[in-house]
Amino acid sequence: QGAAISSEIKHDEDPIATLPTREGWSTPLTLYNNFWLRSHLLPKCILIKENFKPRHDDIILATSPKSGTTWLKAIVFAIINRSRYGSFANTDHHPLLTQNPHTLVPFMCVKGTDLKQLETMPSPRLLATHLPLSLLPTAVSTMGCRIVYLCREPKDVLISWWHYDNKAAQGSKIDLDTAFAMFSEGCSSFGPFWDHYLQYWKESLQRPGEVVFLRYEEISSDPLKVVRDLALFLGMHFTEEEKRNGADEEVVRLCSFKNLSSLDVNKNGGFGNAEAKIYVRYSSHFRHGKTGDWVNYMTKEMGEKLDCLVDEKFKGSGLKF
């Protein structure tokens, strides 16, 4: 099962080195302020919390990993840039056709993105993060930054994580029983997943006009409605003329699993992280793109166990899966 927690003090002078760490997934995780973060990303995450300066017009795509971040990045990028790239009837030159959505919408907690890059971006900035709300600067809330939060049915998240980690891992692989045990203990990257969901859920109840809480399943079942609602939320609603011309439908098509996963950049491109010793192929962000795939990997008992845990964790919050 999951490797034991080690919390021995490695260097007296380095507070990070004293934090509990855990092996098991493709890269070690460190427990920081009640969340398990990939150890190699921790300094970056702390830098964001302490030094990132939010702007009131920032749009932040906050997601629980493996919940459809790539999809959401593509959709929101396509919505807000629709006037820049001409008519959607002719999308030949659209950046989403030649660049991966992760290149177009920078993450706030990844090694490759530095604070300077975020500071030099023109307003309104479109940013993404997997960080829980408690690890973002409090000014994100007090300044009224708009947040689009995306999460997913936890059993599907686990299966997506398990596949992704085994693909991204260059050496060790995690077996499903270990992944299940660690995920259920809250020990997955940016986990516990339930606290991640709950922080943004509560924020969406407190700031309903500024924070939208979305699920992967909602986009899957009615992508056109989500695209229209998101455009409205972002103050860029589709006009009647745009709807007549099919601009909203074109966003759905452009960002669909079928379209994005078939593009050369997403089939053959990727990015490396020397520190984590991983090379991630963009194709690993496009696996199956369906809801309910967990039944093909987990036993009924495992599913019921995770459902019970989810019910218990979300009890009384109004959040249900």
Cβ distance to ligand A3P smaller for residue 136 or 255:
255
Number of residues that bind ligand A3P (CB under 6 A): 21
Binding of residue 287 to ligand A3P (CB under 6 A): yes
186 near ligand A3P, rule: CB under 6 A = no
End-to-end CA, the chain = 27
Question: Smallest distance from the beta carbon of 296 to ligand A3P, in angstroms?
Answer: 11
130 is catalytic: yes
Burial 221-230 (b: 16+ CB within 10 A, else e): eebeebbbeb
User: Cα–Cα distance between 119 and 180 in angstroms, integer?
Assistant: 39
When asked if residue 129 is in the footprint of ligand A3P (CB under 6 A), the reply is no
**Residues numbered 50-69 forming contacts with ligand A3P, rule: CB under 6 A:** 63, 65-69
Tokens (6 digits) for 165:
């980690």
DSSP state of 191: B
Q: How many CB atoms lie within 10 A of CB 15?
A: 10
Per CB under 6 A, 196 contacts ligand A3P: no
The CB-of-320 to ligand A3P minimum distance in angstroms stands at: 20
C-beta neighbour count of 196 within 10 angstroms: 27
Residue with tokens 């959505």: 101
x-or-dash string of contact with ligand A3P, 137-176, rule CB under 6 A:
-------------------x---x--x-------------
Is the CB of residue 5 less than 8 Å from the CB of residue 30?
no
**Catalytic, out of 130, 163, 196, 285:** 130
**241 touches 177 (CB < 8 A):** no
**Rule CB under 6 A: which residues touch ligand A3P?**
63, 65-71, 156, 160, 163, 255-257, 260, 285-289, 293
Which positions are catalytic?
130
